Structure 1
Amino acid sequence: MRLFLSTLLLASRLVSAEDGSAAWLRYAPVTQAKNSRLLPAAIIALNSTKSSPVYTAGQELRDGIAGIFSKELNVSTQARRTSSAVIVGTLTAYTNDYGDLEDAEDLEEDGFFLSTEQDQVVIVGHNERGALYGAFEYLSRLAQGDLSPTSFISNPQAPIRWTNEWNNLDGSIERGYAGPSIFFRDGFVLENVTRAAEYARLLASIRINGIIINNVNANATLLTARNIEGLARLADAIRPYGIQLGISLNFASPRDLGGLSSFDPLDPKVDAWWMNITTQIYAKVPDMIGYLVKANSEGQPGPLTYNRTLADGANMFARAVRPYGGVVMFRAFVYDNHISPANWKADRANAQLEFFQHLDGKFDENVVVQIKYGPIDFQVREPASPLFGALHNTSTAIELQVTQEYLGHQCHLVYLAPLWKEILGSDLRADSRSSKVKDIVSGSRFKRPLGGYAGVVNVGTNSTWLGSHLAMSNLYAYGRLAWDASLESEAILQDWTRLTFGLDQEVLDTITDMSMKSWPAYENYSGNLGIQTLTDILYTHFGPNPASQDNNGWGQWTRADKASIGMDRTVKNGTGNAGHYPPEVAQIYENIETTPDNLLLWFHHVPYTQRLKSGKTVIQHFYDAHYEGADTAQAFVRQWESLKSKVDNERWNHIMFRQTFQAGHALVWRDSINQFYHNLSEIPDESKRVGNHPYRIEAEQMSLVGYKLYSVNPFHAASRHTAIVTNSNSSAGIATANITFVSGTYDVAVNYYDIIGGKARYQLEIDNRTIGKWTGNLEDKLGHAPSIYLDGHSATRITFKGVEVRHGETVRITGQPNGMEPAPIDYISFLPPGVVD
């Protein structure tokens, strides 16, 4: 009877809509509920203070067990002897009330001990935060149907496990794709901090212990009295989850906000100003974790303005927070964005090392240098930054990016844990000893007191938190890896999938397969062989635009010309970047024969005809990889379709829309990159695919009434370089053509452009039959606004499946412009079953 009831509960959960707000903390009923009789009969939380994470743990255990097993347990805050209870508390509290617990003697800061081997479940933390982590671990196991007895200690590998939220005081989020800020609006901290508390709960469940709440491009007015009061309100809301608040600082605040004549870090008045403002903040937020600083990069002020060192700047803040136990995270993302592409030796990838290596050992002990995982900027593939191996006497942290700035803006499925694992496992061989990045940032390799992880997350008010249900696997994986970088990507993913979508094996297998293929697929259809993500670096960082990489001061160059491609970063002939690595690694990267193919174009400038280890030429690899990656994206649609009856409708539809968009946009990427390099190199595709699209009717070749031709820029963002737009922004246009394909059943796809500033309407007809109608309103659906131009960002596709077509019929598209959007169309494809355009 219990099994029958639990099965009904599970079925009802599947058919009811879910908006994603619960993320992986759904506590959905599971069929193993028949074993709920094995659960303890009560919960004892050894702390009665409501702001305590231990008190929170008791409430969480109560709610979780009620959701999973439909079993209501009372929570007591008084220790008592009982034969069946979940006991949660700190090691000190447990010892005081129940005696010594020898199994927990090896607990470290934030660590926990969990035992389910007896009738009593014992959850003990080294501190209150650790006890909460243990409670979440226990509930995670129950929610995945794991009732097996266990007993173990879990300690964190690194003390710093923070998120960076690039939130602006006006409520916008830089590189955020899920709605406005949960912390700020109209220049001030929000009055209602409920959403912030809910976010803190999510982070605590994956053992994150700090949030930097504002953009690294910081606004000095965060330090006004009203906002400092707001910081206290936020800190109070997140404290019960063991999360501590931190803030980013604008280096010029003493001048811009404080009225001083300078912001020179060696000016005693400036130093005193920071001491004073820090005292004010800690009076309101006594457990603030500290400051994050971006200085002298991308136009931000910093100590170099006064010919002071970056260490001078960092140490000024370190002195201010030291009395309170605070930490200063100082970003290594410092570079000149006006370097000359005419200089063959110039290389932005050298900047981190050049700015920081000579300062090793000159930072105060409570300063941590925060280093992006690669030398450039969150690209689809980079080598590990050489700076990790160069700072032996300075604490470091790795900066990872959960928000998909260069990797599809949460509109493309890209599971990032395998990328991060590759970087964390990179062995830099400092002093010819094992020097994996994960061991460096944990502090263990160079015996540093601090170190850890900073993840740029950028959650928003969208119910899915990140704008995409599947993108949440990246936030979950970030927390898990920050705690224990030895975990496997697939195992983390499967835990997240069971917690988020339930225990159905087909759902688990399908999401696992899609997600584990997603990073390689994105790399294939964006930028491969180490050439970086070939997106538009001058605009949105979303769609394809390889030409934007070169001939500017930003330094994300490909050095592509008619005959060759790639950055020469060798010591012998190039920028010397390969030599920035310790000798054993430098030797590998210096030699083209030993450089891995997937980093070939990162370290070497080669002809398009250079043979890879696979035997293919560079250019043929480009062509093949872009087709392979796009094909994988098409397969994701079919895979997700197969789960229609196994996932609730709301989430299924939301993900189906995004996978369909990704499939279409992957074709835009494929064609754009291939067309660009085909035109540049004039080397044909051996398979004769590039530029050959037999199933397309180009819009510019149709009969046009009210439409005109439009030369798309960049040219490769349109099939055959040209699209059509309406003659005016008020009158409809009509494009018609005779169908020359044989009669049969086709999927009819329309590639068009959906730009910001209007919502054009379209109607597709064949003879007198209406095939479909749609509106250009992706700006309302994607979570971000792609572009105001016809380009690789706004290019998209809609497909109508199973359309009966007869040879000689007339296909007609009517486009009604709206606002700035002139109903742009690129082409129509008539695709036989199973054919990808």
Structure 2
Amino acid sequence: MPCPRFKFSLLFIIFFTFSNLKGEDGYRLWLRYNPINNTTLLESYREMFESVELLGESATMDAIRNELEMGLGGLLSQKINFGESANKGLLIIGNYDQHEKIKAFLEPEEVENLGEEGFVIRTIQKDNQKLILITGLQDKALLYGTFHLLKLLQTQEDISGLHFKSIPKIKVRMLNHWDNLDRTVERGYAGFSIWNWHQLPEFIDQRYIDYARANASIGINGVSLTNVNANALILRPDYLEKVKALADIFRAYGIKVYLTARFSAPIELGGMETADPLNNEVQQWWNEKTREIYELIPDFGGFLVKANSEGQPGPQNYGRTHADGANMLAEAVNPFGGIVMWRAFVYSNEEPEDRHKQANMEFQPLDGKFKQNVLIQVKNGAIDFQPREPFHPLFGAMKKTPLMMEFQITQEYLGQGTHLVYLGGFYKEVLDADTYQSGKNTTVAKVINGEFLDQQVTAMAGVSNIGTDRNWTSHTFGQANWYAFGRLAWDDQINEEEIAKEWIKMTFSNDSEIVNALNNMMQASHEAMVNYMTPLGLHHIMAAGHHYGPGPWVDFMSRADWNSTYYHKADNEGIGFNRTQSGSDAISQYHPKVAEKLSDLENCPEEYLLWFHHVSWNKKMDSGNILWDEICLRYQKGVDQVEGFLNTWNKLEGEIDKERFLHVKSLLTIQLKEAKWWRDSCIAYFQTFSKLPIPEGVPQPAKNLDYYKSLSFPYSPGIRPRW
């Protein structure tokens, strides 16, 4: 008859095997906690975790206990004993300031500068017993440390001599949900909004808790719940009760909620005749509304605002500046420790200047005029989340105003929910770019992490790719971009390959051949997408409105800068947008050191060539090809790369669970089909200008240009709603 411990372990194995067969649909994300199948490693881990001692009581400590029960219980296939009964291995988790037992193991300097979220993990030998210690100065730090330890086990790392200290470089690390109150998601490709406003606050979906767990596991500590194209109803008392229900869930996981504020809310909700930020009654309305929110949600984070952009109301409606509008809201949240994130994504059809220049033109003159608790939220590039963009010039132009990064995790212009495009390397490319704002090596990362400016708070936001699809992100590999964003928001110095391999090991397998194969595919995927969509600095040539598929011929939109032809400017002479001094002069908004390199046609990096220059079809490129041939060959290279991804994936049949294998295979098949669509339609269109033959190695387009122009997709997901 088996002993009780063996019986429990057997039941645990049966349970996790069954859930593995039934539940490998991606829902568990990177928190799968499947049993470790390396016998030697498993036994060593079991010795280290004979018992767990949690010091302190709180909702966060309860969350830690629950995660350890799932995590250690699943990985080690055994019941976790919470107490001090271990003979060989004991895990101790507690607040350094509150427990003398913790202080006895560490020197004071080991916990210096931890702040609210930094944590320490130490392996300590005491007599014949090995202790693993997780500590910090607040309970949420202990939670982050717990997730880190579980990650080490999931990725099968050596934990026998841990001496690890981690402090986030960015204070506010948040997801921006572009979710509407009717549960549609603007630029969302994974189903509907996970927020069921109709059933809140009474019904609490388990999905909300699992969402909080996933975010906390990668250090995300803020969530903006609603679309930046805001609806004032979210500020109505009944909706605030619903927001409170979510905030109450997230609090245990160290996550604050933020709301998008519609600037005209005093008119729409308050019955006022104006929303002028300098009007005393308007200011009072916002003060009272803010107080109402904080009475319900004491740790409310603050407001995110899109104003005077794409039809959204703002202070300019009343002849006021962005600073006037932002400062009014900053005054309202300041007594409660809140912040205002004011988006710099502004452009006007009435403004004749190059759209690339408009945000800089509006915000740079206001540098230093914003309250201390205002951050200007700047997209990574000046146009709009293109497959590849040079860094936004505002990162080098604002020297007195805190800036925060806005990355897009959802793939609006990157194949949406069906293309495998890992963005860890692209995020790093932007963060590592040198702005020269305060001399050489003033990277974008250092600008936003506060290294060069004394500021109250630092922040980074990612536009969410999350929806009601069972696997959260539509494409399984879309999860990797959510994961990479969180990891880089915590520490921008982490290598993108390290991040990818962590995610692969936790999501698929620790087998080195599988890890290497998938990592190679992921690392090449962004460049492949650029090749088959927008090579050599082409940009915004997607179809109108929904941005699904190619549309370099688009020239019928009501606004000039909603048309593809505005950006590529192809003619019989060449192609590309001249942003040098002889053109729009957008390059002059960068530091002279940056501008000097970008302005020189011969030295401009080829990845930005057509972004900044109108180039002859016959210009000789670094490869020795003329520009026309190089464009065609880049399109073909992108197709070849995707075909390689599909071949790599097919070789993993039997190594990946059947459900996810077939799902990813079908999406890679779609991606290959659409890469060919991009190649054929763009080459067919641009050839009408170059009038040059398609080079050897690139097939003739499968259809004529009229066919590609005729394609219509009226129900593409993620289309922006119009109110």
TM-score (norm 1): 0.80
Question: Kindly tell me: are residues 544 and 652 of structure 1, through their superposed partners in 2, closer, same or farther at Cα, counting changes over 3 Å?
Answer: same
Residues 122 and 550 of structure 1: is their aligned pair in 2 closer, same or farther, counting only changes over 3 Å? farther
Listed as ranges, the matches of 1:344-355 within 5 Å are 346-355=353-362
Cross-structure match for 2:149? 138
Could you tell me which residue of structure 1 aligns to residue 706 of structure 2? 715
Structure 2 residue 257 is the aligned partner of structure 1 residue 245:
yes
Tell me how far apart the structure 2 counterparts of residues 560 and 130 of structure 1 sit (CA, whole Å): 54
2:309 corresponds to: 297
Q: Map of 1:284-683 to 2, 5 A cutoff?
A: 284-339=296-351, 346-536=353-543, 538-548=544-554, 552-554=559-561, 557-571=567-581, 573-683=582-692
Q: Distance in 2 between matches of 1:97 and 1:36?
A: 22
Partner of 1:94: 99
Provide, for residues 379-424 of structure 1, a one-character-per-residue CA deviation record: whole Å limited to 9, x for no partner.
Answer: 0111101101111111111100100000011200000111111110
Distance 2:628 2:444 in 1: 32
Q: CA deviation at 1:8?
A: 9.9
What whole-Å deviation, never above 9, does each CA across 1:442-461 have from its counterpart, x for those lacking one? 01123333222100014111
Q: CA deviation at 1:240?
A: 1.0
Q: Tell me how far 1:321 sits from its aligned partner.
A: 0.6
Give the AA of the match of 1:363. F
In the other structure, the counterpart of 2:53 is 44
Task: Provide the rounded CA distance (Å) in 1 between the counterparts of 2:555 and 2:375.
Answer: 31
The counterpart of 1:231, out of the listed 226, 229, 243, is: 243
What is the one-letter code of the residue matched to 1:547? W
Name the stretch that deviates more: 577-586 or 431-440.
431-440
Aligned partners of 2:52 and 2:91 also within 8 Å:
yes
Work out the CA distance in 2 between the residues paired with 1:370 and 1:540: 24
Distance 1:122 1:309 in 2: 52
User: Using the alignment, how far apart are the partners of 2:555 and 2:665 within structure 1?
Assistant: 32
Q: CA deviation at 1:186?
A: 5.3
Is the 8 Å Cα contact of residues 431 and 582 (structure 1) preserved in structure 2? no
Pick one of 26, 33, 48 that aligns with 1:27.
33
Q: 1:254 corresponds to which letter in structure 2?
A: P
Change (3 A) 1:38 1:248: same
Closer, same or farther in 2 for the Cα pair 1:100/1:362, shift >3 Å?
Answer: farther
Paired residue total: 699
Decide which structure has the larger Cα Rg and report it. 1
What does the per-residue CA deviation read over 1:683-728, in whole Å, with 9 as the maximum and x for residues that have no partner?
Answer: 11231745366xxxx7xxxxxxxxxxxxx9x72617xx8xxxxxxx
Task: Name stretches of at least 5 consecutive residues in structure 1 with no aligned partner.
Answer: 341-345, 699-711, 722-752, 758-778, 788-837
2:268 matched to 1:256?
yes
8 A contact 1:409–1:542 mirrored in 2: yes
Query: CA offsets per residue over residues 129-176 of structure 1, 9 Å max, x none?
Result: 111000000000011111332112100111111110000001111011
Deviation at 1:96, TM superposition (A): 6.8
Farther-moved stretch of structure 1 (278-287 vs 425-434) = 425-434
Which secondary structure does the structure 1 equivalent of 2:228 belong to? Answer: coil
Q: Distance in 2 between matches of 1:400 and 1:334?
A: 16
Distance (whole Å) between structure 2 residues aligned to residue 189 and residue 526 of structure 1: 44
User: Would the aligned equivalents of 2:118 and 2:166 in 1 still touch at CA under 8 Å?
Assistant: yes
The TM-score with structure 2 as length reference comes to 0.92
Q: 1:34 to 1:394 in 2, by over 3 A?
A: same
Q: Residue 705 of structure 1 aligns with which residue?
A: none
Q: 1:505 to 1:550 in 2, by over 3 A?
A: farther
Q: CA deviation at 1:487?
A: 0.9
Change beyond 3 A, Cα 1:312–1:656: same
Other-structure match for 1:268? 280
Distance (Å, rounded) in 2 between the aligned partners of 1:678 and 1:314: 48
- The Cα RMSD (Å) is 2.6
| SS of the residue 2:94 aligns to | strand
Q: Distance in 2 between matches of 1:316 and 1:39?
A: 54
Query: What is the letter of the counterpart of residue 574 of structure 1?
Result: G
> Whole-Å Cα distance in 2 between the matches of residues 558 and 189 of structure 1?
49
- SS at structure 2 position matched to 1:554: helix
Partner AA of 1:89 in structure 2: G
The amino acid of 1:91's aligned partner reads: Y
- Secondary structure of the residue aligned to 1:329 is strand
| Equivalent position SS for 2:482 | helix
Cα displacement (A) at 1:221:
0.7
For the pair 1:110 / 2:113, whether they are aligned, the reply is no
* C-alpha separation in 1, matches of 2:258 and 2:331: 16
Code of the residue aligned with 2:589 in structure 1: it is H
Task: Give how far 1:293 is off.
Answer: 0.3
Counterpart of 1:715 in structure 2: which amino acid?
D
Q: Distance in 2 between matches of 1:457 and 1:167?
A: 9
In 1, the alpha carbon distance for the partners of 2:448 and 2:707 equals 42
Q: Output the CA distance in 2 between the equivalents of 1:786 and 1:511.
A: 31
Give the structure, 1 or 2, with the largest relative contact order (CA under 8 Å, sep 6 or more): 2
SS of aligned partner of 1:161: strand
* Runs of 5+ consecutive residues of structure 2 not aligned to the other structure: none
**In proportion to residue count, which structure has more strand?**
1
- Structure 2 residue identity aligned to 1:312: D
User: 1:813 matched to which residue of 2?
Assistant: none
Residue 140 of structure 2 corresponds to 129
Q: Report the CA distance between 1:98 and its aligned residue.
A: 4.7
The alpha carbon displacement at 1:532 in A equals 1.3
Assess, with a 3 A threshold, how the Cα gap between structure 1 residues 309 and 80 changes in structure 2: closer, same or farther.
farther
1:548 is paired with a residue of what secondary structure? coil
State the distance in 2 between where 1:135 and 1:603 align.
47
Counting aligned pairs with the same residue, the percent is 36
Q: Which amino acid aligns with 1:542?
A: Y
Rounded Cα–Cα distance in structure 2 between residues aligned with 1:65 and 1:163: 28
Q: Deviations over 1:1-26 (max 9, x none)?
A: 99x99999998787555111110000
- Distance in 2, matches of 1:635 and 1:541, equals 26
Residue 156 of structure 2 aligns to a residue whose secondary structure is coil
Q: For 2:637 and 2:394, how far apart are their aligned partners in 1?
A: 34
- Flag the 1:647–1:165 CA change in 2: closer, same or farther, 3 A: same
Report deviation, 1:325. 0.6
Q: Supply the AA of the counterpart residue of 1:171.
A: R
* CA 187–352 in structure 1, closer or farther in 2 if over 3 Å, else same: farther
Distance 1:188 1:617 in 2: 60
Quick check: 1:756–1:785 contact (8 Å CA) kept in 2? no
Cα displacement (A) at 1:597: 0.9
- Higher mean C-alpha deviation, range 632-641 or range 297-306: 632-641
Q: Residue 155 of structure 1 aligns with which residue? A: 167
Q: Deviations over 1:100-149 (max 9, x none)?
A: 73222342331110113431111112322111000000000011111332
Partner-residue secondary structure (3-state), 1:622: helix
How far apart, CA to CA, are the structure 2 residues paired with 1:187 and 1:570? 54
Tell me the CA shift for residue 81 of structure 1: 10
Q: Indicate the SS of the match to 1:120.
A: strand
Aligned counterpart, 1:171: 183
Following superposition, the deviation at residue 631 of structure 1 comes to 1.2
- Corresponding letter in the other structure for 1:495: E
Q: What residue identity is the alignment partner of 1:255?
A: I
